[in-house]
Amino acid sequence: MSSDPDRIWREIETTRTELSNDVDALTEKVNPRRAARQVQGEAHAAADDLRQR
């Protein structure tokens, strides 16, 4: 770790941005609407497969 204050602040900002991106990704992943849309899409795909048989 550096003792240069400017570098430390840049590292903090970089870490903060990365953490924010990770939290956003996790929030989207566990979003109930997203999960419902995914299940709905899978159900439509399965129904389409059955219709094509």
pLDDT (tens digit per residue) in 1-53: 668 999 999 999 999 999 999 999 999 889 999 889 999 999 999 999 989 98
**pLDDT score of 1:** 61
- Cα distance between residue 43 and residue 49, in whole Å: 10
- 0.75 cut: is pTM over it? no
User: Per 3-state DSSP, what percentage of the chain is helix, strand, and coil (rounded to 5)?
Assistant: 85, 0, 15
**pLDDT score of 48:** 92
Contact (CB, 8 A) for 28 and 34: yes
- Take residue 38 and report the two structure tokens written for it: 């995914």
